[in-house]
Structure 1
Amino acid sequence: MLRLVHTRLVSHVTTPLRIPTTATAASPSRLLQLPFHHGLSHHISSSTPNDSSSLTVHFLKKSCGLSSEAALSAANKVHLKTTKNPRSVLTLLEHFGFSKPDITRIVTKRPQLLLASPDHTLKPKLDFYQSVGLSGADLARLLSGIPGLLLWSLAKRLLPNFNLLKTILHSNENVVLAVKKCPRLLTSDLPNVLLPKIESLRDYGMPASVIFTLLITHPKSLVKAADQFENTFNAIKGMGVSPSTSMFAHALGVFSRLPKSTMEKKLENYLSLGWSQEQLLGAFAKHPYCMTASDEKVRRNMEFFAEKLKWGPAYVSAYPVVLSLSFEKRIVPRCLVLEMLASKGLVKGDVKARHLMMGEKKFIENYVIKYEGEVPEIVDAMGGNKLGLGGWEKRSLGVDGYEHLDST
């Protein structure tokens, strides 16, 4: 059964998606034109004199905040003959709001930046990032994670890529949202990596609004290798998810980030809980994020649904969003509230999936504020402070809201 389901999930459709090849292949000379600041190369050496090595390690520890081990490792990548330029680099980063921990992370990952020209190499990029809306903590977080973004050519790569993305996403704010999720959008060869995929998606009937959603929510799926992208696209299309719906964008994003082994394990988990092939495929098509919930979370939620609410796979697969809800912070408190109200005859009927999927504000207005005068203890129940439901609420999962893949 597992093999059958997995085949349905990852098999190709009859007419597979084909990513067009670019008209002009990259020549060897083009590949050698790296967009890095060429002035760095003569400063970097693996063989360091003793005096230079001592100066380098001392500066990395005292001025950059590196540990002894990290400083020794960084000193193998760069050596300082003077601290004049490195100090100017640190001053520049501080001017742009980088904290000492930010600078430590940057230097640890890319010590070569200490030898870059503050005025000609670094400041133009920092000005650019700030001008498009990346500043303060956002900029520090981005560059401390990928400090190499300060070494790519502004004129040949960063600015052209940003402008290309803006033609699709329409505003600086939207481009920044996508870049935060996938910094590679700024450094990849987008005309050859991104545009052919978008062209193929349009040819298959994906409207601009869905492409927009895909690029904003799951941009990493669009910078994967062409063959990986084709396989993922064709598998989801073969499951019957229409490319014209926004759900296709979410399914593509989720599926492209799950390794085959992880997907197989998750499928096996669902099947072991009594789900059928059709129920599993249907649930994924409606709510792809049911595949990102941990196996433990799925099992615990399903156990609760079966024992307390009498929901089986047929019902849950029709409302798969409930599998992504927090057990401790959403499911149990709401069930407690509804159970108390039902015991007082204030509400009728069993708990339904709509009760758990309802927005927080609406649920509180309809079931807490409305009845707190008659049943004041529901306020405590909503906060998870009231015992009930056989102690289910005491099982902490430590997960809030929906469980999605991160965001890296």
Structure 2
Amino acid sequence: MLHLRQRIASHIISSSATSAVSSSATSGISSLRRLLCAGAAPVSPNPSGFAVEEYLVDTCGLTRSQAIKAASKLSHLKSPAKPNAVLAFLSGLGLSRANVAAVVAKDPLFLCAGVERTLVPVVDGLTGLGLSHSEISGLVSLAHRRFRCRAIVPKLRYYLPLFGSFENLRRLLKDQSHLLSSDLDKVLKPNIVSLQECGLGGCDIAKLCISAPRILATNPERIRAMAACAERLGVRRGSGMFREALQAVSFLGEEKIAAKVDYLKKTFKWSDTEVAIALSKAPMLLKRSKDLLRRRSEFLLSELGLEPVYIAHRPVIIYYSLEGRLMPQYYVVKFLQENRLVDRNLSYYTVVKRAEKDFVEKYICPHKEAAPHLAEDYATACKGEVPTNFRFT
């Protein structure tokens, strides 16, 4: 922190050439405060008050529209002394002018935070957790107003070992910064304990939070209800599929789930037993749109002639892209079968479950001589067109 304070002092000295600073100004907290005050130069010659809007544009880098919106929250400021101290602090952390402008635009009251009272202790606490200054400056850009609250330190002390690394946490906070404002003891910890009891580890919980953003901040009782609902889909707690099942039922009421189950039965011609098998293997079918399910059904049942029970035992096939995977690969296999280049009894699922690279190596590359245009025709089919070679009568 001594290095940070020195950078703050250096920033103010360099930006205030006309200020008179004593030779002892860099020693101690009281000297730092004198420096911060000495660095506060009037932004406007208007003696009646502090021109906040102009300060936000000229000094903080906000656009005029951003400044107009932000100024309404800073009308109580009478001088730039405190904002200058905060800007010097952020500069000392290594934030760029653009990042500072983004923070201030998002949280204008950040300019009113107490540097020595709040911001320095927060940085001290985060440094004590092992975070570097670059990681802390990145956290400022993610957390905004939550960074100017000392409670951020105990929350990160809890999150870091849970999610394994700051990078994992940073990716999560990028879209879920509300995790820094939810109550740690009453909400977050009970929910995480409930998820851990379901067999989820830190990485699983982080992935679940990304896909179901509100789940950690919800009522702990709802987490338990979601877990019970996921079990009713036939997915066992502790299994690798349970996270996906929780994601599938998250924030879906019983009526919506029942309606989607009925739609799946009708669309894929499944019995109660078959739809239960399908959902236990692919619970995210509950989140797929009716239009997507209808189009997959029409292709798999009508055009390919697959049996409903076959699809129920291999429901992941419904997840695959129709235009980018299912149809083009079907055309390739049918072409090869028509020309006796592969076994006519080849299982369609055996083909499409392969990754793109494996599919090309297995079913296209070996037939370059017998079918020289196959790779080109396949690429065309992946764009949504059906080449003449793939039109069968």
Normalising by structure 2, what TM-score? 0.68
Is the 2:163–2:203 contact (alpha carbons within 8 Å) kept by the matching residues of 1? no
> Which residue does 1:165 correspond to in 2?
159
Residue 223 of structure 1 pairs with residue 217 of structure 2: yes
With over 3 angstroms needed to count, the CA separation of the structure-2 counterparts of 1:171 and 1:108, relative to structure 1, is closer
1:247 shift after superposition: 0.9
1:106 pairs with one of 80, 103, 107: 103
Partner of 1:370, secondary structure, is helix
What is the distance in 1 between the residues matched to 2:228 and 2:94?
A: 45
1:243 shift after superposition: 0.5
Is the 1:338–1:367 contact (alpha carbons within 8 Å) kept by the matching residues of 2? yes
> Which residue does 1:377 correspond to in 2?
373
1:104 shift after superposition: 4.6
With over 3 angstroms needed to count, the CA separation of the structure-2 counterparts of 1:321 and 1:243, relative to structure 1, is same
Is the 2:324–2:383 contact (alpha carbons within 8 Å) kept by the matching residues of 1? no
Residue 344 of structure 1 pairs with residue 339 of structure 2: yes
> Which residue does 1:72 correspond to in 2?
68
Query: 1:130-209 residue pairs with structure 2 within 5 A?
Result: 132=131, 144=141, 146-153=143-150, 157-180=151-174, 182-200=176-194, 206-207=198-199
Code of the residue aligned with 1:247 in structure 2: it is: M
Residue 236 of structure 1 pairs with residue 261 of structure 2: no
1:256 pairs with one of 242, 245, 250: 250
Partner of 2:364, secondary structure, is helix
> Which residue does 1:19 correspond to in 2?
none
Is the 1:337–1:382 contact (alpha carbons within 8 Å) kept by the matching residues of 2? yes
Code of the residue aligned with 1:218 in structure 2: it is: L
> Which residue does 1:305 correspond to in 2?
300
Is the 1:239–1:281 contact (alpha carbons within 8 Å) kept by the matching residues of 2? yes
Is the 2:332–2:390 contact (alpha carbons within 8 Å) kept by the matching residues of 1? no
Partner of 1:340, secondary structure, is helix
Residue 56 of structure 1 pairs with residue 52 of structure 2: yes
- Residues 124-163 of structure 1, C-alpha deviations (whole Å, 9 max, x = no match): 6568389547958x975x755642231221xxx3332333
2:352 pairs with one of 342, 351, 356: 356
Moved more, 260-269 or 364-373: 260-269
Between structure 1 and structure 2, the one with the greater Rg is 2
1:345 shift after superposition: 1.8
1:364 shift after superposition: 2.3
> Which residue does 1:212 correspond to in 2?
202
Moved more, 111-120 or 241-250: 111-120
What is the distance in 2 between the residues matched to 1:338 and 1:186?
A: 52
1:176 shift after superposition: 4.3
Partner of 2:351, secondary structure, is helix
1:232 shift after superposition: 0.9
What is the distance in 1 between the residues matched to 2:298 and 2:390?
A: 11
What is the distance in 1 between the residues matched to 2:123 and 2:370?
A: 59
Partner of 2:362, secondary structure, is helix
With over 3 angstroms needed to count, the CA separation of the structure-2 counterparts of 1:295 and 1:228, relative to structure 1, is same
In structure 2, runs of 5+ residues without a counterpart are: 1-45
1:287 pairs with one of 282, 286, 311: 282
Is the 1:322–1:353 contact (alpha carbons within 8 Å) kept by the matching residues of 2? yes
What is the distance in 2 between the residues matched to 1:86 and 1:291?
A: 50
What is the distance in 2 between the residues matched to 1:253 and 1:182?
A: 16
User: Which has the higher relative contact order, 1 or 2, with Cα contacts under 8 A spaced 6 or more apart?
Assistant: 1
Residue 116 of structure 1 pairs with residue 138 of structure 2: no
Residues matched between the structures, number: 335
What is the distance in 1 between the residues matched to 2:327 and 2:144?
A: 44
What is the distance in 2 between the residues matched to 1:187 and 1:120?
A: 20
What is the distance in 1 between the residues matched to 2:102 and 2:229?
A: 40
With over 3 angstroms needed to count, the CA separation of the structure-2 counterparts of 1:245 and 1:72, relative to structure 1, is same
Partner of 2:149, secondary structure, is coil
In structure 1, runs of 5+ residues without a counterpart are: 1-48, 394-408
What is the distance in 1 between the residues matched to 2:289 and 2:319?
A: 9
Code of the residue aligned with 2:371 in structure 1: it is: V
Is the 1:309–1:351 contact (alpha carbons within 8 Å) kept by the matching residues of 2? no
Code of the residue aligned with 1:353 in structure 2: it is: Y
2:314 pairs with one of 306, 311, 319: 319
Q: CA RMSD in A?
A: 4.0
Q: Share of identical aligned residues, percent?
A: 25
Code of the residue aligned with 2:245 in structure 1: it is: A
Code of the residue aligned with 1:244 in structure 2: it is: G
- Residues 162-202 of structure 1, C-alpha deviations (whole Å, 9 max, x = no match): 33334444444444455456434444333432443454566
- Residues 220-251 of structure 1, C-alpha deviations (whole Å, 9 max, x = no match): 53432112112111112233321120211221
- Residues 296-353 of structure 1, C-alpha deviations (whole Å, 9 max, x = no match): 3222222222232123543323222222222232223322332332233222235522
Code of the residue aligned with 2:147 in structure 1: it is: L
What is the distance in 2 between the residues matched to 1:76 and 1:251?
A: 46
Partner of 1:246, secondary structure, is coil
